[in-house]
Structure 1
């Protein structure tokens, strides 16, 4: 697992960690039962406070994405496939919303956006 932090981002560091772990789960890079680095180890690797790492892990545990076992560590929790799909769709919708706002600000119409999307979709095949 490779977490990259940005000191210039407006997103808090614990949120950056949380988001990147969540994205790794959604992409299938992290699967049920996979261990995460200990809170201390991740803090050391990222050169941040243990408190920051703990907050990210605590929030992921509240969301049901990870399970902590005293004395053993933190592990990716089992996920419902439909839940993962819904989370993935939500992330895609958020990205598309940002693109639509940018296109409107630039003055592009729906047909132009569709043509761009179709072109890009075909290029990726």
Structure 2
């Protein structure tokens, strides 16, 4: 499992881990019943606190992405990939809404926002 931590990001490290593990599950890189690295192993690999990894795993479990079996480890939960993809789409929609609100509050017209979006999509 390849997780990349960006220390200069505004996003907390545990959220970066949660986001990347969700992406790996949604895209099918991690499949149901795949075992995740132990909290200790992942914390050593990423050179971060085991508590941070534990918090990430707890969040993933709370959201239904993984299941932890005491003494055996954490596994990708049996879930419907379409439901996971739909959750991801909702997150993207919420982010886009924030961008639109910010753009409008800065005086950009809807047409300017569309043009900017198209420019970014081309890049």
Is structure 2 residue 117 aligned with structure 1 residue 91? no
Counterparts of 1:97 and 1:39, CA distance in 2: 35
Give 5+ residue unaligned stretches, structure 1: none
Instruction: Give 1:116 deviation, angstroms.
Output: 4.7
The CA deviation at 1:79 is: 1.3
Residue 33 (structure 1) aligns with: 33
Q: CA deviation at 1:102?
A: 4.2
- TM-score using structure 2 length: 0.79
Cα distance in 1 for partners of 2:118, 2:4 equals 32
Structure 2: unaligned runs, 5 residues or longer: none
Task: Please give the root-mean-square deviation of Cα atoms over the aligned residues, in Å.
Answer: 2.5
